[in-house]
């Protein structure tokens, strides 16, 4: 029997498909009463993880729990957790209603429940139409209706915004928020933070199958993700000292240095110690999109030469440093900043050239 | 469990597979009954049997059953692979625990559909017989019921084999190719390769042979005993073998022996499908 807590717990989850490690040592929990975003670029292991939570994929190691139980031990699981995984699971010859009534039967629910969920997702008028003629948006709604059949306390959605028009996305956001506001749990994945920014309260960010951030969205947005742009008289000397202090820096094309994960006060101190003159100094806060990109980039950019002034002392900026709770410092930040934007990729490699022209 | 079985029935009767495969069963059964009956009415046969009325209907029902069971195994296999192809299997497994319960529900629901198939086969082949032969070509009612009942068993077991196979391979095209390739090509080749060897008895234990023996080993001895009456002990083995080769079964092999062998196959396929289903990643 489950504990009714509405909590999803993922512990040490691993999944390999042959040589491909899709999910690597994931740990996170999702609490009721809020919308949790599960974010990461394509191929970062979101779908694999969600399917493991739902008992559809067997983990290579580790475990996932829903209401304190592995999915496979939930009696009548659809009354505990509903899932929208893809918008494909319909027999094209069935109508929306006959599709749903297969599952009301399986769940021992009254057949009116089928019409109730159709109304909930705004598909009542299409109840007697064959699903084969449904648009992608209608399929997403029908998939959501199917997930809601058992009136579950937990809702898991994998990229539900795909195929929805802006109006549909707005509607979905409102729906998820009101669902969570009744004390229920929502875990929703997306490869676009922007898409979820106004919907989610907490985020779990994955990159290449590893957790790179787990906590509140506000904490993620908060100040510790600033970087400093500075122009100094002897950048090389400052960089040497920064490296000694375990920090990294990168040259911008105009000769300025970018120092991630710190603030101007600290850099000014270090400049003084290095004996260089500060000509210009500026704190910069990243917007969420940049933070997200920075946290998750590198997945597909391994082959692009990037040019930190010196190799960062912590060679693997993507190593899992565990996960931090809300308010904690997101692991991985403050390292490997050279990947912040595509533009910097392009210019990062001619570091000394840029420097020479401006010093 | 009741709910899951009900769900399976709804899946069956809100989609077209069940009647798309039942249609050829009806047509082929009727044609087998009709054609077989007409064969029994030819001058040659009538002369040989000195005008005696023959219960040919028993044989043709056997023939028809062994020809249409292929649709039962296709039905069972496509019932499972269809869920993978349409990706409804995800929702199906999200609404039932453990996965084996879904397979169990399918076995129950499709057993019922297979009985319907068996019934349609018995009725249509008899109807064909009536058209070609008249009412007295079927032997006594208990005889008709026995051959018909053996046909139902065969039909149900083939459906279960299909469900197990479908759960093992999950791919519709692969399942159809395996079924047709085996039944139409491979088993025939295997049997003829075995006939000249010391282990020729093995052919009785091949799936197709075993299943046709369920009906053929009822109908052929019944037919011969009807025709030969008191002379039955003197009927040559060759006569038996001739009829068996056309209508299924083999000389001296009991029908329940065939049944046991084929139940074994059904059990193996269902168990294999069960295990594979429990372990599989649903992607
Ligand atoms: N069935 C599979 N076989 C092999 N590799 C797979 C399979 N499914 C996913 N992968 C790989 O696992 C990684 C994670 O995939 P996925 O979970 O689908 O990511 P996401 O949903 O975040 O886009 C990818 O590298 C993908 O190629
Ligand atoms: Mg995905």
Instruction: Quote the pLDDT of residue B91.
Output: 95
Residue ranges of chain A with per-residue pLDDT less than 70: 223-225, 297-359
User: Is-contact A96 A79, C-beta < 8 A?
Assistant: no
- What pLDDT, on a 0 to 100 scale, did the predictor assign at position A355? 36
Instruction: Please answer whether residues A260 and A348 qualify as being in contact, where contact means their C-beta atoms are separated by less than 8 angstroms.
Output: no
- Confirm whether B189 is domain-assigned: yes
The count of other CB atoms within 10 Å of the CB of residue A162 is 16
ipTM of the complex: 0.89
Distance CA B117, CA B124 (A): 10
Q: Is B205 exposed, middle or buried (0-12, 13-18, 19+ CB in 10 A)?
A: middle
A146 CB near ligand 1 (under 6 Å):
no
Asked if residue B281 belongs to a domain, the reply is no
Identify the residue with better confidence: B130 or A324.
Answer: B130
Query: What is the spatial distance between Cα A70 and Cα A63, in angstroms, rounded to a whole number?
Result: 7
How many domains is chain B built from? 1
SS3 A19: coil
Indicate whether B282 belongs to any domain.
no
Specify the range with the lowest mean pLDDT, choosing from A67-76, B228-237, B240-249.
Answer: B228-237
> How many angstroms separate the CA atoms of A123 and A125, rounded?
5
Neighbours of ion ligand 2 (CB under 5 A): A 47
DSSP track, B167-211: HHH--HHHHHHHHHIIIIIIHHHHHHHHHTSTTGGGGGGSHHHHH
For B108, other C-beta atoms within 10 Å of its C-beta total 15
Residues spanned by the domain of B158: 2-276
A8-221 and A225-332 share one CATH topology? no
Nearest CA in chain B to A110: B3
> Ligand 1 pocket: which of A48, A56, A193 to mutate (most atoms <8 Å of CB)?
A48
Q: Does B278 touch chain A (CB under 8 A)?
A: no
Distances (CA, A) of A246 to A37, A240, A241, A283: 32, 10, 9, 19
CATH topology of domain A8-221: Rossmann fold (3.40.50)
Distance from the CA of B189 to the center of ligand 1, in angstroms?
43
Which residues of chain B lie closer than 8 angstroms to A51, CB-CB? 281-283
H/E segment holding residue A24: strand A20-30
B146 found inside a domain: yes
CB contact under 8 A, A91 and B82: yes
Query: Over 70: is that where the pLDDT of B75 sits?
Result: yes
Cβ(A45) to ligand 1 under 6 A? Answer: yes
Give the E-state strand segments of A180-332 in sequence order: 185-190, 202-207, 210-216, 226-232, 250-251, 257-260, 278-285
How many Å apart are CA B107 and CA B119, to the nearest integer? 18
Residue B151 belongs to a domain: yes
pLDDT value at residue A346: 34
Q: From the list A57, A95, A103, which residue is nearest B95 (CB)? A: A103
Mutation for B interface: A81, A105, A132, most B CBs within 10 A: A105
Query: pLDDT (tens digit, 9 = 90+) per residue, A263-291?
Result: 888 899 999 999 999 999 988 777 777 77
Position A359 scores a pLDDT of 29
Question: Do the Cβ atoms of A326 and A218 come closer than 8 Å?
Answer: no
Asked if the Cβ–Cβ distance from B97 to A102 is below 8 Å, we say: no
Phi, psi of A196 (to 5 degrees): -105, -10
Residue ranges of B 73-112 with Cβ closer than 8 A to chain A: 82, 86-98
CATH for A225-332, among 3.20.20.540, 3.40.50.300, 3.90.45.10, 3.30.70.100? 3.30.70.100
> In this structure, how many other beta carbons lie within 10 angstroms of the beta carbon of residue B230?
7
Strands A61-66 and A8-17: antiparallel
Q: Which ligand has the minimum distance to the alpha carbon of residue A39? A: 1
On the question of pLDDT at B219 being above 90, the answer is no
Q: Ligand 1 centre and the CA of A164: distance in Å? A: 23
Protein residue whose Cα sits closest to atom 16 of ligand 1: A45
Mutate to test the interface with B, among A46, A85, A106, A109 (most CBs of B within 10 A): A106
Q: Has residue B236 got a pLDDT over 70?
A: yes
**pLDDT tens column, A163-211:** 788 888 999 999 999 999 999 999 999 998 888 888 899 999 999 999 9
Ligand nearest to the CA of A43: 1
Instruction: Indicate yes or no: CB of A56 within 8 angstroms of CB of B281.
Output: yes
Q: Where along chain A do its domains lie?
A: 8-221, 225-332
Query: Helix (H, G, I), strand (E, B), or coil: what is residue A69?
Result: strand
On average, the pLDDT of chain B sits at: 89
Assigned domain for B283 exists: no
Cα–Cα nearest to B216, from B265, B262, B266, B268: B262
Residues of A in contact with B92 (CB under 8 A): 106
How far apart CA A77 and CA A71 sit, in angstroms, is 7
């Amino acid at each position: 029997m489950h504990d009714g807590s509405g909590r999803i717990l993922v512990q040490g989850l691993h999944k390999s498909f042959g040589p491909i490690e899709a999910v690597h040592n994931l740990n996170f929990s999702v609490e009721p009463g809020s919308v949790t975003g599960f974010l990461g670029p394509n191929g970062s292991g979101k779908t694999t993880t969600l399917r493991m939570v739902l008992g559809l994929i067997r983990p290579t190691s580790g475990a996932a729990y829903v209401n304190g139980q592995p999915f496979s031990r939930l009696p009548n699981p659809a009354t505990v957790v509903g899932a929208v995984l893809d918008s494909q699971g319909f027999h094209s010859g069935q109508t929306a209603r006959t599709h749903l009534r297969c599952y009301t039967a399986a769940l021992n629910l009254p057949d009116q429940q089928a019409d109730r969920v159709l109304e909930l997702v705004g598909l009542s008028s299409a109840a007697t139409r064959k699903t084969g003629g449904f648009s992608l948006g209608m399929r997403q709604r029908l998939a959501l209706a199917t997930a809601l059949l058992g009136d579950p306390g937990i809702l898991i959605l994998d990229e539900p915004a795909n195929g929805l028009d802006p109006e549909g996305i707005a509607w979905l956001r409102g729906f998820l928020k009101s669902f969570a506001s009744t004390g229920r749990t929502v875990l929703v994945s997306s490869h676009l933070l922007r898409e979820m920014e106004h919907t989610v309260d907490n985020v779990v960010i994955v990159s290449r199958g590893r957790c790179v951030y787990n906590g509140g969205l506000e904490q993620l947005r908060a100040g510790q993700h600033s970087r400093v742009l500075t122009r100094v008289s002897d950048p090389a000397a400052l960089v040497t000292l920064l490296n000694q202090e375990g920090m990294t820096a990168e040259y911008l094309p105009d000769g300025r240095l970018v120092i991630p994960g710190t603030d101007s006060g600290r850099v000014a101190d270090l400049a003084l110690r290095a004996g260089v003159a500060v000509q210009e100094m500026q704190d910069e806060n990243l917007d969420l999109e940049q933070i997200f990109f920075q946290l998750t980039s590198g997945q597909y950019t391994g082959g692009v030469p990037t040019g930190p002034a010196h190799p960062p002392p912590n060679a693997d900026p993507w190593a899992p440093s565990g996960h931090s709770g809300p308010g904690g410092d997101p692991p991985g930040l403050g390292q490997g900043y050279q990947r912040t934007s595509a533009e910097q990729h392009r210019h990062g490699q001619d570091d000394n050239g840029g420097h020479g022209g401006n010093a | 469990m009741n709910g899951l079985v009900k769900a399976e029935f709804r899946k069956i009767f809100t989609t077209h597979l069940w009647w798309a495969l039942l249609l050829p069963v009806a047509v082929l059964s009727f044609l087998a009954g009709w054609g077989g009956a007409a064969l029994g009415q030819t001058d040659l046969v009538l002369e040989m049997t000195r005008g005696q009325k023959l219960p040919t209907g028993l044989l043709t029902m056997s023939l028809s059953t062994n020809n249409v069971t292929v649709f039962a195994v296709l039905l069972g296999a496509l019932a499972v692979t269809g869920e993978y192809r349409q990706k409804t299997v995800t929702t199906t497994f999200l609404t039932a625990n453990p996965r084996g319960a879904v397979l169990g529900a399918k076995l129950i629901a499709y057993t019922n559909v297979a009985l319907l198939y068996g019934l349609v086969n018995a009725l249509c082949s008899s109807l064909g017989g009536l058209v070609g032969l008249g009412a007295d070509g079927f032997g006594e009612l208990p005889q008709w019921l026995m051959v018909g009942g053996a046909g139902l068993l065969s039909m149900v077991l083939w459906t279960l084999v299909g469900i197990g196979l479908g759960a093992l391979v999950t791919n519709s095209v692969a399942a159809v190719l395996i079924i047709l390739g085996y039944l139409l090509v491979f088993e025939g080749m295997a049997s003829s390769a075995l006939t000249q060897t010391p282990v020729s008895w093995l052919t009785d234990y091949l799936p197709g042979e075993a299943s046709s023996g369920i009906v053929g080993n009822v109908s052929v001895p019944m037919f011969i005993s009807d025709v030969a009456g008191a002379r039955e002990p003197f009927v040559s083995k060759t006569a038996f073998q001739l009829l068996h080769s056309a209508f299924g079964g083999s000389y001296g092999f009991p029908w329940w022996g065939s049944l046991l062998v084929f139940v074994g196959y059904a059990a193996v396929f269902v168990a294999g499908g069960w295990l594979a289903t429990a372990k599989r990643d649903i992607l």
